Structure 1
Amino acid sequence: MTANFAFARAAWPDVFEDASRAESYLSSDPRSACFYSRRAVEQLVGHLYDVLDLPVPYQDDLAARINDAGFARVAGVGIGQKLNLIRKLGNQAVHAQHAIRPDIALAALRELHHVLVWATFRHSAHPEAVPTGEQFDPQLAARAAPLTRDDVQRLAARFAAQDQAHARALADRDELAAEQAAEIEHLREQIAAAQATNHGPDDHDYSEAETRDLFIDVLLAEAGWPLTDPRDREFQVTGMPNGPGVGFVDYVLWGTDGLPLAVVEAKRTRASAQVGQQQAKLYADSLEVAYGRRPVVFFTNGYEHWLWDDEAGYPPRQVAGFYTRSELELMIQRRSTRLPLSGAAVDAAIAGRHYQAQAIRAVGDAFDRKQRQALLVMATGSGKTRTVIALTDQLTKANWAKRILFLADRTALVKQAANAFKAHLPGATTVNLVTDRNAEGRVYVSTYPTMMNLINETSDGESGSMRRFGPGFFDLIVIDEAHRSIYQKYGAIFDWFDALLVGLTATPKDEVDHNTYRRFHLEDGVPTDSYGLDEAVEERFLVPPRGVSVGTRFLRQGIRYDELSPAEKEDWDALDWGEDGTPTSVEADELNRFLFNEDTVDKALATLMTRGYKVAGGDRLGKTIVFAKNQAHAEFIQRRFDEQYPEHAGHFARTITHSTPYAQSLIDDFSMADHAPHIAISVDMLDTGIDVPEIVNLVFFKPVRSKSKFWQMIGRGTRLRPDLFGEGQDKQDFLVFDFCGNLEFFSQDLPGSEGSIQKSLTQRLFEARLGLITGLDRVQLDRELRSSTADTLHRIVAGMNLDNFLVRPARRWVERFAEAAAWDELTLEDAGEVLMHLAGLPSSVTDDDTDAKRFDLLILRRQLAQLDGDLVAAERIRQQVQAIATALLSKSAIPSVAEQLVLLEEIAGDDWWVDVTLDMLEAVRLRIRALVRFVPNVTRPRVYTDFIDELGEVTEIVLRQTTPGTDLERFRAKATVYLRQHEDHLALQRLRRNRQLTPDDLSALETMLLASGAGSKADIELAAAQAQGLGPFIRSLVGLDREAALESFARFLDGSRFSVDQIRFIHLIADELTANGVMDAGRLYESPYTDRAPSGIDYLFDETDVTAIVKILDDVKAHVRPEDVA
């Protein structure tokens, strides 16, 4: 047998070695398989940087190398994603405490195989060795003895040390570096020669006539291409690098002017789509020569579709389908009409604040550099919507965007955004798709679910059924409040549309989930631009929160029966606690969920009313939002307020939730400064989207652990409000009353959770049935049960509609597993693919009986527990099934229940469960599932109490810095790269040549740093503070000109009284000044100075000379501090 990676042996010997080791650990040691996969990728990426002569990024690690724009242009999005996945799985293998699953290792190896096929075929001297039509075959893998986690960590450390030693050797030995450079140059020549003869993909396994797939015709028709003209297919071109010099383009898409707009190269579905890339390029070359215009390139295998607009400077990218004629014509027009965004004007009437313009410039810079995603971190209240409206205006005028989609997660936010676009861009027709689904315009505003539904809508066109919103419909998509849960729920939207993507979030940049950064192809903690709450407060665009922590004993500790008074114990015993009986305690997290205590709420309201900010001369509580735990809690708070403060006649505090009738009218009233209600009690509804500058009090009456949600809630109070407390008495801050420990939680560096998306019951059933099949295969039992379970899953997959855009990306697997024979035998790899690609997809095979489905899942879990030997889970589920059977026995008057009484009595007892088999459980499931709906729902009754609570100490909590700085080392590195690219700047020249800086020089240097995009104003200030000044900080980045460093010592060295050792010591100081710009005198007593003078400078120089040298160092430092000059 030939190993999976044998083709890479000659091209990349060391990569082959690591890949082979990874393969050998596949079945025996998944952790080592992932580790060596990452090691192979690290080696490969290093080689590619060498042979492609790519500049090393500012942060020379694997993450930065993979995500660097230069490398990304070579690799493309798809390969980049694979490399990042292998990198992350490898890191997980080294550091994770838990075991690495075999399917994870298999995924890493499959991705590694894809990467090596690409790299060897495209960028090696041996493309002929690549089996482009083959996939990774786990059956070919050898088997090696497993390693422990400690072994893997030691290996990682050893390899890192070896790499560092090699790098040091190259740096220290010029001859070794020269040898390696010569080897690389020779390799480049070999690769160039090999690639020159590699004119197209290896196609010996198939003929061109068989490659077209009907699905491609369907997709083209969907985009408005009827393909009725003979020239649309198999169009002959000349100038091809083959014997006859001719070729036949699978599809040519023609413009209204008779010129080709695009070529489509189709390969068999069993081959990689990239197989057709070079052939498609050659066709485009020929058509460009013949018609004078370069067409856009599509290459596809029917499952994956790639678009390549190389004329515009973009690498190939995966798309969901094809563009329409008008969309392709616009794409080609933009090659000549699109203006650089670096010089495009920003309308200050829309976004006039400096940080808004900076954000727009940062996005423009990213787009100019061919990046297609940007992430803006902007504090709530800083004008995110205005910023994207001005960005939209700029992109439209610069011919980058014609149609824009703005997505938000709530109808109210959609309404606000639509109104804002209409107000600031009256010339662009704005459509609210929530209220007017059929309207046409330039700016479309929608909720995520609405757009999910609209994508699947079709209409009749020239080519048949056409999608209204095809992949190329929008040029720009803006995501309001971009975070992980949005991508988990609605990521299919962003995969469908091939548009520029701008994400907005108020979550501090170091708290944005790493998955969000990955979605935008950014490094963790480094958004495209950021403007945090601390900066906005400092510049007086927003006001800060003042945290007030208020604990009550019950809210923090719960209620204990033993701690109640005798009278309260009597009340406790008299309460109706439901079927579970009287408890001995109620935990803190259960308070305000089913138990509501009057005194607790009364004390919280009293704290608010006495300590909250007042307006109207101090006579009225200012606008306040109370964040309640649930609807019942909100209503209870309002009842207690009305009872405690009857003088307000029920108008002062109102519940405003999604369940409140006419909630919008209440919001409108609350938004009016002097109009009741003045307290809005909300559950989720007012967390975002409400803009009331008069809000001065927020009350957290529920625990929050999502960072993004917490900062959204805090943002309700940040708006400025002049004259709020009277003429000249502006709003300076706002109060945050916290009764549930949120301030303490978010003031510490704790791992807040963004939550996870709950899988649907249908998906959980699918996954459980798949698990049952694989479990039965493992033990080779119950073929009948396996067959019926597989048949169920087969029918579900067969019912998946391939026209649904959610299903379409999984077409490869739907087609395969829609065949009944595919389920006869499932390998672990098959099961992994089904789980990954099919489990959550919609199907026409549905079951509306939720109760029956829950019972199905219960029995399935019991069967799985029995297969896995999980006795604890099996016993727990047995008790649940017995409880259901017991409840049904009381419903014997129902005929269908009466028919199953004998069975119900058996499973309600214990004897039936002795040696119960999987088939017996399945029979119970089939006979009982339809009866479960008759089991009465048992809900815990609400309990209302009036026990005396204790108010804890009221303390002020200072929230942790709301926008923690970007990682300082990365900030320094980025700033250094930028400054060295602009060394001809006058102020920078003065700094490097040791000339005295002026305040104007410092101001110019700060402007340069801000323009670099390396960090925010707060980052610069933090770095400057640590360096004891902006001048010293910048000097530490760019160093001192060596001539200037030596010149500073020229007068000191004048004459011939110093020895060679003394002069070399001075030159050593000059070396450090050249590298670091400034130097403390204390360094003169450390290495490398003590290497030449054992006791430091005093060993070589007398006291007078030492004083003179220290004075010179102080003068060099003073030259970068204008304030040091008298």
Structure 2
Amino acid sequence: MTPPSSEADARILIDDLLRAAGWAPADKSQVRTEVPVSETFQVREAGSAVGAVRTVDPGALGFADYVLLDQRGRPLAVIEAKKQAINPYTAKQQALPYAKKVGAPFIFLTNGELIYFWDYQNDDARPVSSLYTRRDLERLVHLRSERKPLAEVEIPETYVRTGETRLLRPYQQEAMKALDHAAELGKRRFLIELPTGCGKTDLIALYLKRLIQAGHAERILFLVDREQLAKQAIEAIQDLLPQYSSYWLKPGVARQEKQITVCLLQTMMGRVEELSSGYFDVVVMDECHRSIYGAWQTALAHFDALHIGLTATPAMYIERNTFQFYQCKDSTPDYSYPIQEAFKQGHLVPYKFATGITTLMSEGAEFEGAQYDPAEFERKWTNEASNKLMMQEFDKLAWANYKELAPGQKDGPGKSVVFAITKHHAARLAQYLNELHPEYKGKYAEVITSDIADADDAIRRFKQDKLPMVAVSVGMLDTGFDCREVLHLVMCRRVRSPILYQQMRGRGTRTAPHIGKEKFVIYDFFGNHEYFNDSDTDIFTGSGGGGYRKPQPHTGPTGRELIELGLDDEWLQAVSYIEVGPDGERVDKREYVTEWEKTVQQGADNDPALVKIKAGDALTSEEEDALAHRLNQPQRYFNEDNLRRAYRKPGGNLVDFIREALGLIKTKSRPEIIEENFRAWLVSKNFSPEQAQYLSLLKNRGISRGKVSIDDLFSPPLSLLNAAGLGIEMFGETGLGNLIDEINSTVLVA
């Protein structure tokens, strides 16, 4: 297909963009085309929300390509259309007089491919992923009229959480001031680094309240990548901000028009096309360092909003793309609070390592580099005797020292989390612990994985009830799990990711004054802390304390994106089977998908929830929960975690997997996926318009050839445009090479 080359061709694409944003191009009460600038409108006078009717003086300005009108017929935005060969940003000065004459506060500049949004009274034009809806633009007009300086909203000294009055800690106040300062300077993206357990969710909920009170925000999206994080976020938001409507948007559930939306990133990936770029005013991304990659970036960068990224990961382990997306200079977050300070000031509880325990893995031992088959690793390093020995040593020491760790802990040995290698391994470890304590009748230790009947209830019981005392898990409790009373962390698996190691360690750092928690113990049977040179006197943070020996580079796929998302890439990509059920039965991925599709197709005419999904109807939240529970049953334990592994799709959600099994999802073409990736990539960067136009040429070459190489710059058609010379002039030789690599790894991944 030949790219559109005329302005008329571009307008065909622009009409499609208008329809996608809910506009009816043929409805003259919504969209006017070829509008003479002398036409009569209700024009807003400066400082007035409601305009007076007057006739604009005709001049030599000609016609506005499109004028978008509000519900009362007043201009909201002018769209300036350009043919695809022209960078639309260059039409700024042509469009500005039109907008001013007709009284439209906003301008869109587009050639049908690149779209720029210009709030010309406040900011420069910036690339966006879609046109805005009428509701988006009307909301922005209202917000502009209500806005006041953030300095006029007082930072509170206390707040009420779960009925308890808490002090806003000094570093939380400092973080708010840092955000205020950056916002007043016109920065639209912010990155906050706070260690696990330092109240990131409380801080951000209170800051969102400030933004709403100052007229900077009305609609807010809070994105997370784990269900546990979603539950914590919605609980905190509804507790701290009861005056603002909020809900958790789930995959098959109808969208609600509420002020605050909590959503899994994996869910938003499947629903992002339902929403315009202007739908949200603020987007918060928790654990943001895991989400600025490839397809994940598409969902995040789609929204033209104030973006606030939260992370517990020290700066040196945050990939440069994250800093670029959040517009941070010199790889420095907008606000950072070191973990050493948190320990020193008593906001986190310190740790110590159990000494004299058996270390199963010998010094420096590796197994197939960083990627390995977990089941093979389990067989190589553990057996019945070693598993029993680990549990005996942990249990004996835990019972001996729990009163020293928390004098107010009533029941021994205190809450404990055991990190296992595989589901099979977790089941064995829990069994051995229960054999050590027959008096608890099998309730002393419990496996918590995605395959148990009700993981949420198991987590609730672990947090609130006396039993189980020990939670044994693989993957599920590594991150996004919060239990203040944890006194013991048991590492029965190897960890080589510095980010994951610090997240696992962070499961024990939360304070618990009600039990007098003074310290917690890490039982590291695989020598992970030695690998990272971590100790209670020289804390491993990657930024001043400790250090670690980097593993030797290895060949083969690295799965970086998936590692950073906290998913086990060695299971997702490199391994041909998945583990299902309480004993970790190994099932071939293809066989699992076949059985899944058969099960869904058989139930599509009689299961009420599947019938609704097949008909394209939305589920209620209760219906979705009940469906997930019905599917996650023996024998195959169909759940999102297992389906993501089987389909090798880290961003999949349950309803999309159902639609796929029913043949309802139209697979996007490779060019369509690349165009989405490219638009998201452009939005996430700070390229000049000329650079964006140049990179669009490289992207188009990549669509036709599969990838881009330096050699392509010296061959037609790019050589006819002097692509090599222009690229070196814009980015430098090294910079151009890096960008080509990034286009291949981020944009052309389909």
Q: State TM-score, norm by structure 1.
A: 0.45
CA displacement 1:547-581 (0-9 Å, x = unmatched): 3366646422699xxxxxxxxxxxxxxxxxxxxxx
Match of 1:732 in 2: 518
Other-structure match for 2:473: 682
For residues 407-426 of structure 1, what are the structure 2 equivalents within 5 Å?
A: 407-426=223-242
2:246 maps to 1:430 = yes
Aligned mates of 2:364, 2:358 — CA distance in 1: 9
Pairing of 1:633-1032 with structure 2 (within 5 A): 633-672=425-464, 675-724=466-515, 730-747=516-533, 748-751=547-550, 755-757=560-562, 828=712, 839-841=748-750
User: Residue 556 of structure 1 aligns to a residue in which SS?
Assistant: coil
Residue-by-residue CA offset, 1:792-832 (whole Å, 9 max, x unaligned): xxx9986765899669769989997999x999x99836898
SS of 1:555 mapped into structure 2: coil
Q: Relative to structure 1, is the Cα distance of residues 822 and 542 closer, same or farther in structure 2, using a 3 angstrom cutoff?
A: closer
Partner of 2:277: 471
Match of 1:583 in 2: none
1:324 equivalent in alignment to 2:133: yes
- Give the match's secondary structure for 2:309: strand
Unaligned runs of 5+ in 2: 40-57, 161-166, 366-371, 534-546, 552-557, 563-568, 575-665, 683-695, 719-739
Identity, % of aligned positions: 32
Cα distance in 2 for residues equivalent to 1:508 and 1:220: 42
Q: Measured at CA, do residues 550 and 491 of structure 1 come closer, stay the same or move farther in structure 2, by a change above 3 Å?
A: farther
Deviation per CA, 1:240-278: give whole Å up to 9, x if none. Answer: xxx972321111112234432111111111222223222
Provide the secondary structure at the position in 1 that maps to 2:137: helix
Cα drift, residue 661 of structure 1:
2.4
Residue 443 of structure 1 is matched in structure 2 by 260
Going from structure 1 to structure 2, the CA distance change for 1:818 and 1:643 (only over 3 Å counts) comes to closer
Work out whether residues 294 and 749 of structure 2, in 8 Å CA contact, stay in contact via their aligned partners in 1. no
Specify which of 270, 289, 296 is matched with residue 490 of structure 1: 296
Note closer, same or farther for the CA distance 1:385–1:817 as it changes in structure 2 (3 Å cut): same
Task: Say which of 356, 363, 376 aligns to 2:179.
Answer: 363
Q: Distance in 2 between matches of 1:671 and 1:395?
A: 33
Where does residue 271 of structure 2 map in the other structure? 454
Equivalents in 1 of 2:517, 2:269: separation in Å? 42
Deviation at 1:397, TM superposition (A): 1.0
What are the within-5 Å matches in structure 2 for residues 512-661 of structure 1? 512-548=318-354, 552=358, 554-556=360-362, 590-593=376-379, 596-612=382-398, 613-615=401-403, 620-661=412-453
Residue type at the aligned position of 1:306 = Y
Q: Which among 81, 86, 97 is matched to residue 266 of structure 1? A: 81
TM alignment of 1:189-228, pairs within 5 A: 210=8, 212-227=10-25, 228=27
**Per-residue deviation at 1:487?**
3.3
3-state secondary structure, aligned to 2:217: coil
Q: Alpha-carbon deviations, 1:896-944, whole Å to 9, x = none?
A: xxxxxxxxxxxxxxxxxxxxxxxxxxxxxxxxxxxxxxxxxxxxxxxxx
Residues 148-184 of structure 1: per-residue CA shift (max 9 Å, x gap): xxxxxxxxxxxxxxxxxxxxxxxxxxxxxxxxxxxxx
Q: Matches of 1:543 and 1:254 in 2, distance apart?
A: 57
When residues 558 and 706 of structure 1 are mapped into structure 2, their CA distance, relative to the original with a 3 A threshold, is closer
Counterpart of 1:253 in structure 2: which amino acid? Answer: L
TM-superposed CA distance for 1:470, in Å, is: 1.0
- Aligned mates of 1:552, 1:310 — CA distance in 2: 66
Higher relative contact order (CA 8 A, sep 6+): 2
Q: Give the letter for the 1:375 counterpart.
A: L
Aligned with residue 254 of structure 1, among 63, 69, 80: 69
Task: Report the structure number with the largest CA radius of gyration.
Answer: 1
What's the RMSD between the two structures over aligned residues?
4.0
Asked whether the equivalents of residues 216 and 302 of structure 1 are also in contact (C-alpha less than 8 Å), the reply is yes
Q: Structure 1 residues 557, 705: closer, same or farther in 2, change over 3 A?
A: closer
Shift of 1:451: 1.1
Q: In the alignment, is the contact (CA less than 8 A) between 1:250 and 1:266 conserved in 2?
A: yes
**Is it true that 1:305 corresponds to 2:121 in the alignment?**
no
1:990-1032 CA distances to partner (integer Å, 9 max, x unpaired)?
Answer: xxxxxxxxxxxxxxxxxxxxxxxxxxxxxxxxxxxxxxxxxxx
Q: What is the identity, as a one-letter code, of the residue corresponding to 2:259?
A: R
Contact 1:411 1:434 in 2 (8 A): no
CA contact (8 A) 2:106 2:117 kept: yes
Matched residue type, 1:650: G
Alignment partner of 1:234 is 2:118:
no
Report the equivalent of 1:989: none
Deviation at 1:839, TM superposition (A): 4.5
**Aligned letter for 2:33?**
R
Amino acid corresponding to residue 266 of structure 2 in structure 1: P
Q: Evaluate the alpha carbon distance shift between residue 601 and residue 259 of structure 1 in structure 2; reply closer, same or farther with a 3 A threshold.
A: same
Residues 21 and 131 of structure 2 are in contact (CA less than 8 Å); yes or no, is this contact kept in structure 1?
Answer: yes
C-alpha contact (below 8 Å) 1:798/1:817 kept by paired residues? no
Q: Which residue of structure 2 aligns with residue 783 of structure 1? A: none
Q: Give the residue type in structure 2 aligned to 1:316.
A: A
Q: Which aligned pairs between 1:56-67 and structure 2 lie closer than 5 A?
A: none
Contact 1:341–1:361, Cα closer than 8 Å, also in 2: no
Query: In 2 relative to 1, CA 809–516 (structure 1 residues): closer, same or farther, beyond 3 Å?
Result: closer
CA deviation profile, 1:112-163 (whole Å, cap 9, x unmatched): xxxxxxxxxxxxxxxxxxxxxxxxxxxxxxxxxxxxxxxxxxxxxxxxxxxx
Bigger helix fraction = 1
Q: How many residues align?
A: 551
- C-alpha distance 235-659 of structure 1, shift in aligned 2 (>3 A): same
Report whether the alignment pairs 1:286 with 2:92. no
Change (3 A) 1:803 1:547: closer
Equivalent position SS for 2:329: coil
Contact 1:303-1:809 at 8 Å conserved across structures: no
The change in CA–CA distance for 1:384 and 1:655 in structure 2 (over 3 A counts) is same
Q: Residue type matched to 2:432 in 1? A: R
SS at match of 1:698: strand
Q: Distance in 1 between matches of 2:674 and 2:387?
A: 53
Q: Are the structure 2 counterparts of residues 294 and 592 from structure 1 closer, same or farther at C-alpha, using a change threshold of 3 Å?
A: same
Q: CA deviation at 1:238?
A: 6.5
Counterpart among 281, 287, 291 of residue 481 in structure 1: 287
The 8 Å contact of residues 614 and 620 in structure 1, kept in 2 or not, is answered as: yes
Residues 614 and 621 in structure 1, CA contact (< 8 A), matched pair in contact too: yes
Alignment partner, residue 339 of structure 1: 148
**2:347, 2:359 → 1: CA distance?**
38
Query: Which residue of the partner structure matches residue 506 of structure 1?
Result: 312
CA deviation vs aligned residue, 1:382-407 (integer Å, no higher than 9, x gap): 11111111111111111111111111
Residue aligning to 2:189 = 373
- The one-letter amino acid paired with 2:83 is R
Corresponding residue number in structure 2 for 1:295? 105
- How far apart are residue 663 of structure 1 and its match? 2.1
Q: Tell me if the contact between 2:197 and 2:510 (Cα under 8 Å) persists in the aligned partners.
A: yes
Distance 2:184 2:87 in 1: 30
> Residue type of the partner of 1:359?
A
- Kindly indicate whether the alpha-carbon contact (under 8 Å) linking 1:484 and 1:513 is maintained by their aligned counterparts in 2: no
User: How many angstroms apart in 1 are the aligned matches of 2:440 and 2:15?
Assistant: 69
Which residue of 1 is the match for residue 622 of structure 2? none
Q: Conserved in 1, the CA contact under 8 Å of 2:674 and 2:749? A: no
